[in-house]
Chain A
């Protein structure tokens, strides 16, 4: 069971959280102006990376806040968690190597 650092509450067990899929996929400001293809890209297409992923979590059985995390999907090791609205933080090569270990 993962140990996840909620930016508001600190480290908690995975059972307190629910995963919200890939992060930084902003809902288009004006969906009706999008082509069907563009809309499908937003709605369904995902990077699904093998490596570092930016993803959303919600501290469902805690503060109920959403936040973002960067995690290596090959190891499930987290690099960082951060608040919604913040840009995706840069990951140093050292951090990436540590997460991949």
Chain B
């Protein structure tokens, strides 16, 4: 059986290299160079898939990426089985496994085909009109059934083990498509000295030249000319060539995206090679040489396996050496199909008849075919194709004057080839925002004026004569190179071309037919099972815009995105609406040109490379101490340091008590740091922050609070004055970049009068916080003689010095409420300083602590965390920081907004503390507060809990909350409504510990 449809001496497959693969479990032999479709066709198999809606048996109609029917799954296993691949593009290799899709239990017998019997009840949009009763049946009953029958292949269920790459590049001239015009354009541009990239979606350069046996270029077979040209291009250092690479997206400013498939055609790929690579190319000039796609004809049974495009049969014959049948009928409206007839006959295929819809076709080819004695019926049509899983005959009938169709005659055949003419591929041109223009002569749309640095060449702009196409490619390539700035002397070749296969003619819409055809299924969009009737129904129901027709019928919305169907849908809509096509227009061409793997877009951004992973210099130390980490913006921060047997609560309680009783060490490196320098530094700070800075002495620190212009708190942090003209500003971890941006914005665009420089020093300084009553005892011996006594270095001061010879900025600040220091040292030296402090702290039982303990300690003191207590709707006063706002400054960012009456409303949410009635009850963060425990839903909420912890120091729980008019509610009992109970809480001051600050000033 196998190879029985191979034609000896034809095709470019390597018959010395058999390749064995399986399709639906059946082991099949093909040859190196075959696609899955060609190898199956070589065994006489046309049935390769089932359609989306009616589950009709389908075979390939095309030989390329425009294929709507032969959609298969490739690979095996939960991770690797890849759905919805196009059999005409899948290259076979030894061991490839492929499965048909959307059928149960098997391709030959599919229960889903019952839909086909019910098709009269399932016209376009049937689902809008039904399934509404009873109401809850939609989600529970109808929708699950619809979903199960919809969909094509099965998505993988296990993670994809392959890897993908993503790359940016530049070139002078990018050529999309390596058919005759693309090759000619690339050659011309390259000879002019341009950096050229040329890509083609197939495995081999050459396009139509790979299956054109009739034409000659410089006396060479076209395939030989391709080889000569490709060799010439390869030898040029300024040319990059990409096979299996689809130019799929044409973005703004000549940014073009390519998808290169690297390994899918290989049985045993090198694991180091990515499966696919996505290129983003900024091209000075783009040449679109995307070719043209043959149009199917729309008649009853045009979807039966064995019905295919004439050009597809020619491709399978001449490129793959496969005859798609033994006895063919050809239905055409175009001259080029006559060339197919001649090639088929030469290969031993019987051509039973050619039917031409045109009254008087005439061409050199027509005459050759007549001379060969083939029956040609002109002014005739296909009434119907017969057969189920394979066509066995076709009824051809004359078109009568007036448009009716007369009695026809059946012709036995196993292959029906159709050609409705050629549709230029305008996808990339249209994506570039160029406007397409209807061409009445060719009865199709062509590229209009370019919107970007782009040119179309060859058949994608309606040129079908090979001689013209090649000449056009040379001309366009030359122009593109010139416009890219490469105007070297070009010695352009002059090719002598002979050809006869010129595509002239064409037909759009549904073929005329006898009778009303109310039950006839004539397909426009094969995969989505959209028939001519469906399009007419949409028009009947008032859908007049082509976009509406597309959406109502789903024509053009299948995986092939309407490559073969859009123009026919337009033709049918045009006659149904009684309006010329050019008044209707095309639907938008949407990227990608053909489907592109998600993995290719994500590229290397997976796992830990998904986002930058920022780690502090102390991170290795924390890991050896068994720290548990949390993500804070891009940083990984140690959250707590559990000892054996401890959970988070136990670890945090221990860490908290250690800081309060003795000393703890904390990595605060992630804080943002900005150096604000210049003669106007203080004035700049005055304008940016709500605080006043002029009087802050050198060596002193102040808590700084920053609003946005809308008056809401944006960021906070301690600021130290290092010199009269120099501030060391700290920001929150997450806010670092935003604060610098905002500062730069004002400085560069609003306050150009200020002489100030801003430098991010976040990466330069690592910060080691040493907090607790013993902090000074630990540090004093290490700081190279610096006097850090309370007297010379009181709370909120900063000094520059060294620690073990390493430069240091030492801040006496506290976010814990204890005596505390923050040691700022160069990041590169931080770990060694940390370890030195750690050693010195051992006699004091110094304890490392993480962000969770830091949170508890600061909450005990009522210190806010921007982003936790505040949320972008809180003013400084709301957050209990009204004291920080300068009353004297004439202006600062946010001041005008803070003066709005709404900002003064006494009912605004204000920061308070909460005690639960039960001391051990720890509230959930985010719970809401109500004043009246007897309320029913919907309740009148008056606040919410922002922070809540068990305080080991106080031996009870504490919480911070934002409460409407909260400061006036001290002592009131409020309630936290949980699902099953009310938790009473008492409003209190947010400062739970050491309210007078005695422990800070020691």
A residues engaging B (CB < 8 A)? 1-3, 13, 18, 20, 26-27, 30-32, 34, 36, 39, 43, 56, 58, 60, 64-66, 75-76, 84-85, 101
Chain B 419-453 interface 0/1 with A at a Cβ cutoff of 8 Å (1 = within): 00000000000000100000000000000010100
Q: Chain B residues near A43 (CB, 8 Å)?
A: 709-710, 897
What's the minimum C-beta distance from A71 to chain B, rounded to whole angstroms? 11
Q: Which residue of A lies closest to B894 (CB)?
A: A31
Rank and list the top 6 A-B pairs by shortest CB-CB distance, nearest first: A31-B896, A3-B253, A66-B748, A1-B255, A27-B750, A76-B252
What's the minimum C-beta distance from A76 to chain B, rounded to whole angstroms? 5
Q: B282 to A13, Cβ gap below 8 A? A: yes
Q: Chain A residues near B900 (CB, 8 Å)?
A: 36
Query: How many angstroms between the C-alpha atoms of A13 and B433 in the bound complex?
Result: 20
What's the minimum C-beta distance from A4 to chain B, rounded to whole angstroms? 8
Query: How many angstroms between the C-alpha atoms of A30 and B890 in the bound complex?
Result: 8
Query: How many angstroms between the C-alpha atoms of A75 and B750 in the bound complex?
Result: 29
CB-CB under 8 A for A20 and B745, given A3-B282, A39-B896, A43-B710: yes
Chain B 623-666 interface 0/1 with A at a Cβ cutoff of 8 Å (1 = within): 00000000000000000000000000000000000000000000
Query: How many angstroms between the C-alpha atoms of A13 and B280 in the bound complex?
Result: 11
What's the minimum C-beta distance from A53 to chain B, rounded to whole angstroms? 15
Q: Chain A residues near B899 (CB, 8 Å)?
A: 32
B1001 CB–A CB distance under 8 Å: no
B994 CB–A CB distance under 8 Å: no
Q: Chain B residues near A85 (CB, 8 Å)?
A: 752
CB contact between B252 and one of A2, A30, A34 (< 8 Å): that residue = A2
Q: B433 to A30, Cβ gap below 8 A? A: no
Q: B255 to A84, Cβ gap below 8 A? A: no
Chain B 252-285 interface 0/1 with A at a Cβ cutoff of 8 Å (1 = within): 1111000000000000000000000000101000
- 30 A–B contacts from the bound complex (CB under 8 Å): A1-B251, A1-B255, A2-B252, A3-B255, A13-B168, A13-B255, A13-B282, A20-B749, A27-B750, A30-B890, A31-B891, A31-B895, A31-B896, A32-B890, A32-B891, A32-B895, A34-B896, A36-B900, A39-B897, A43-B709, A58-B741, A64-B744, A65-B748, A66-B745, A75-B451, A76-B252, A76-B253, A84-B748, A84-B752, A101-B451
Q: Which residue of A lies closest to B901 (CB)?
A: A36
Q: Chain B residues near A75 (CB, 8 Å)?
A: 433, 451
Q: A84 to B710, Cβ gap below 8 A? A: no
Query: How many angstroms between the C-alpha atoms of A85 and B751 in the bound complex?
Result: 10
Q: Which residue of A lies closest to B752 (CB)?
A: A85
Q: B254 to A60, Cβ gap below 8 A? A: no
Query: How many angstroms between the C-alpha atoms of A36 and B251 in the bound complex?
Result: 43
Q: Which residue of B lies closest to A44 (CB)?
A: B710
Q: Chain A residues near B746 (CB, 8 Å)?
A: 27
Q: Chain B residues near A30 (CB, 8 Å)?
A: 890-891
Task: Supply 16 further A-B pairs (C-beta < 8 A) apart from A13-B282, A30-B890, A76-B252.
Answer: A1-B255, A2-B252, A13-B255, A18-B741, A26-B750, A30-B891, A32-B890, A39-B896, A43-B709, A58-B741, A64-B744, A66-B745, A66-B748, A66-B749, A84-B752, A85-B752
CB contact between A58 and one of B710, B745, B750, B895 (< 8 Å): that residue = B745
Query: How many angstroms between the C-alpha atoms of A27 and B748 in the bound complex?
Result: 12
Q: Chain A residues near B282 (CB, 8 Å)?
A: 3, 13
Query: How many angstroms between the C-alpha atoms of A22 and B895 in the bound complex?
Result: 22
Chain B 291-303 interface 0/1 with A at a Cβ cutoff of 8 Å (1 = within): 0000000000000
**Residue with the highest number of chain A CB atoms closer than 10 Å, among B449, B451, B749:** B749
Chain B 873-908 interface 0/1 with A at a Cβ cutoff of 8 Å (1 = within): 000000000000000001100011101100000000
Q: Which residue of B lies closest to A64 (CB)?
A: B744
CB contact between A84 and one of B168, B451, B709, B749 (< 8 Å): that residue = B749
Query: How many angstroms between the C-alpha atoms of A95 and B451 in the bound complex?
Result: 15
Query: How many angstroms between the C-alpha atoms of A36 and B449 in the bound complex?
Result: 50
Query: How many angstroms between the C-alpha atoms of A75 and B255 in the bound complex?
Result: 14
Q: Which residue of A lies closest to B433 (CB)?
A: A75
Q: Which residue of A lies closest to B251 (CB)?
A: A1
Q: Which residue of A lies closest to B257 (CB)?
A: A1
Q: Which residue of B lies closest to A31 (CB)?
A: B896
Chain B 737-763 interface 0/1 with A at a Cβ cutoff of 8 Å (1 = within): 000010011101110100000000000
Q: Chain B residues near A26 (CB, 8 Å)?
A: 750
Query: How many angstroms between the C-alpha atoms of A30 and B900 in the bound complex?
Result: 15
What's the minimum C-beta distance from B905 to chain A, rounded to whole angstroms? 14
Q: Which residue of B lies closest to A66 (CB)?
A: B748
Chain B 776-816 interface 0/1 with A at a Cβ cutoff of 8 Å (1 = within): 00000000000000000000000000000000000000000
Query: How many angstroms between the C-alpha atoms of A34 and B709 in the bound complex?
Result: 14
Query: How many angstroms between the C-alpha atoms of A97 and B109 in the bound complex?
Result: 61
Chain B 239-261 interface 0/1 with A at a Cβ cutoff of 8 Å (1 = within): 00000000000011111000000
Q: Which residue of B lies closest to A83 (CB)?
A: B748
Q: Chain B residues near A66 (CB, 8 Å)?
A: 744-745, 748-749
Query: How many angstroms between the C-alpha atoms of A56 and B280 in the bound complex?
Result: 26
Query: How many angstroms between the C-alpha atoms of A96 and B282 in the bound complex?
Result: 24
What's the minimum C-beta distance from A34 to chain B, rounded to whole angstroms? 7
Q: Which residue of A lies closest to B254 (CB)?
A: A3
Query: How many angstroms between the C-alpha atoms of A85 and B253 in the bound complex?
Result: 27
CB-CB under 8 A for A58 and B744, given A1-B253, A36-B900: yes
Query: How many angstroms between the C-alpha atoms of A49 and B62 in the bound complex?
Result: 47
Chain B 13-57 interface 0/1 with A at a Cβ cutoff of 8 Å (1 = within): 000000000000000000000000000000000000000000000
Q: Chain A residues near B280 (CB, 8 Å)?
A: 1
Q: Which residue of A lies closest to B891 (CB)?
A: A31
Q: B741 to A60, Cβ gap below 8 A? A: yes
Q: Chain B residues near A64 (CB, 8 Å)?
A: 744
Q: B710 to A56, Cβ gap below 8 A? A: no
What's the minimum C-beta distance from B595 to chain A, rounded to whole angstroms? 21
Query: How many angstroms between the C-alpha atoms of A13 and B255 in the bound complex?
Result: 10
Query: How many angstroms between the C-alpha atoms of A42 and B450 in the bound complex?
Result: 40
Chain B 125-165 interface 0/1 with A at a Cβ cutoff of 8 Å (1 = within): 00000000000000000000000000000000000000000
Query: How many angstroms between the C-alpha atoms of A101 and B449 in the bound complex?
Result: 10
What's the minimum C-beta distance from B889 to chain A, rounded to whole angstroms? 10
Q: Chain A residues near B748 (CB, 8 Å)?
A: 65-66, 84
CB-CB under 8 A for A2 and B891, given A13-B168, A65-B748: no
Q: Chain B residues near A84 (CB, 8 Å)?
A: 748-749, 752
Q: Chain A residues near B168 (CB, 8 Å)?
A: 13
Q: Which residue of B lies closest to A74 (CB)?
A: B433
Q: Chain A residues near B709 (CB, 8 Å)?
A: 43
Q: Which residue of B lies closest to A76 (CB)?
A: B252
Q: Chain A residues near B255 (CB, 8 Å)?
A: 1, 3, 13
Query: How many angstroms between the C-alpha atoms of A27 and B896 in the bound complex?
Result: 11
Q: Chain B residues near A3 (CB, 8 Å)?
A: 253-255, 282
What's the minimum C-beta distance from A61 to chain B, rounded to whole angstroms? 11
What's the minimum C-beta distance from A89 to chain B, rounded to whole angstroms? 17
Beta-carbon contacts under 8 Å, B449-476 to A: 449, 451
Query: How many angstroms between the C-alpha atoms of A34 and B925 in the bound complex?
Result: 40
Query: How many angstroms between the C-alpha atoms of A3 and B452 in the bound complex?
Result: 13
What's the minimum C-beta distance from A50 to chain B, rounded to whole angstroms? 15
What's the minimum C-beta distance from A60 to chain B, rounded to whole angstroms? 7
What's the minimum C-beta distance from A41 to chain B, rounded to whole angstroms? 12
Q: Chain A residues near B451 (CB, 8 Å)?
A: 75, 101
Query: How many angstroms between the C-alpha atoms of A13 and B891 in the bound complex?
Result: 38
Query: How many angstroms between the C-alpha atoms of A58 and B738 in the bound complex?
Result: 13
Q: B749 to A56, Cβ gap below 8 A? A: yes
Q: Chain B residues near A76 (CB, 8 Å)?
A: 252-253
Query: How many angstroms between the C-alpha atoms of A34 and B891 in the bound complex?
Result: 12
Q: Chain B residues near A27 (CB, 8 Å)?
A: 746, 750
Query: How many angstroms between the C-alpha atoms of A3 and B451 in the bound complex?
Result: 15
Query: How many angstroms between the C-alpha atoms of A43 and B712 in the bound complex?
Result: 13
Q: Chain B residues near A2 (CB, 8 Å)?
A: 252-253
Query: How many angstroms between the C-alpha atoms of A85 and B752 in the bound complex?
Result: 9
Query: How many angstroms between the C-alpha atoms of A40 and B403 in the bound complex?
Result: 68
What's the minimum C-beta distance from A84 to chain B, rounded to whole angstroms? 5
**Residue with the highest number of chain B CB atoms closer than 10 Å, among A27, A56, A76:** A27
Q: Which residue of A lies closest to B282 (CB)?
A: A3
Query: How many angstroms between the C-alpha atoms of A1 and B256 in the bound complex?
Result: 9
**Residue with the highest number of chain A CB atoms closer than 10 Å, among B254, B449, B741:** B741
